[in-house]
Amino acid sequence: MINLNDITSKVAAISKEAGNYLRIAQATFNKDEVTAKSLNALVSDVDRTAEKLLVTGLSELLPEAGFLTEEKTIEQDLDSEYTWVIDPLDGTTNFIHGLPIYSVSIALLKNKWPVVGVVYEVGMDECFSAFENGGAFLNGRPIAATQTEALEDTLLATGFPYYNFSKLAGFQNTLAHFYQHTRGVRRIGTAAVDLAYTACGRFDGYFEYGLSPWDVAAGVVLVREAGGYVTDFEGVNVAIPANSIIAANKNIHGRVLEVVEKYIGHA
């Protein structure tokens, strides 16, 4: 049996090492180095190098674990008892354009269920961490989701569709509803940070569709351990609701789900 508390502390340190590399790399980054994997999915050698740094550190930490990574710099393996799910640079477009909001996201799955989550937001030097039944923390201090009850008093976050536009009309209608019935909706460009901010109470809730497991796996642990609730657009509490996700405090989750189901349906 591994010690999740100890593992989480070491993962946080590894995430910061990768984050320091990203911070230095952004200062001299050349946009000409960017390539497109698909529509609006950008990648550079910085992403790949950061991922290799993470893989090296995490392999030493837990040699028996497999990997699921965005850039696939190592053989992908979801069949091991333990699996690392990592995004070396969540918010690549922000990074490329010089915006300071981007993150390193690392989750550990046990039998495909996320039990450790670390999100290091590089620009603010904020390290969010959590492990199953251990609570959630920001730079070592406990955090909690909000307890806001009235939707009208909430601040929500989302991510705009960037390749799957099949639900675009419903998504726009959802935004129109929330514009009129909340304090506002924010889009900052990194799902991992959206979830971290929901966990620490900066956002009351977050919703998005068309993601990948590495975008949300770590953040899901943060929100759950901070007392929030996470499901897909069908309201199902799956392990990693990446294709569609609603993360919110437990008082408003149902309200957000009702609106999403009304206008978007099941993504």
If we measure between CA atoms, which residue out of 258, 59, 3 comes closest to residue 151?
258
* Residue 261: partners with Cβ closer than 8 Å, 6 or more residues away: 233, 235
> What pLDDT is attached to residue 267?
62
Q: Which residues of 129-160 are buried (b: 16+ CB within 10 A; e: fewer)?
A: bbbbeeebbbeeeebebbebeebeebbbbbbe
Name the DSSP class of 32. Answer: G
**Cα(92)–Cα(41) distance, integer angstroms:** 9
Domains belonging to the chain, first-starting first, are 4-142 (3.30.540.10), 151-263 (3.40.190.80)
| Tens digits of pLDDT across the chain (267 residues) | 799 999 999 999 999 999 999 999 899 887 766 666 554 455 578 889 999 999 999 999 999 999 999 889 998 988 899 999 999 999 999 998 999 999 999 999 999 999 999 999 999 999 999 999 999 999 999 999 999 999 999 999 999 987 778 888 999 999 999 999 999 999 999 999 999 999 999 999 999 999 999 999 999 999 999 999 999 999 999 999 989 999 999 999 999 999 999 999 876
> What pLDDT is attached to residue 186?
98
Q: Please provide the distance, in angstroms rounded to a whole number, between the alpha carbons at the two ends of the chain.
A: 37
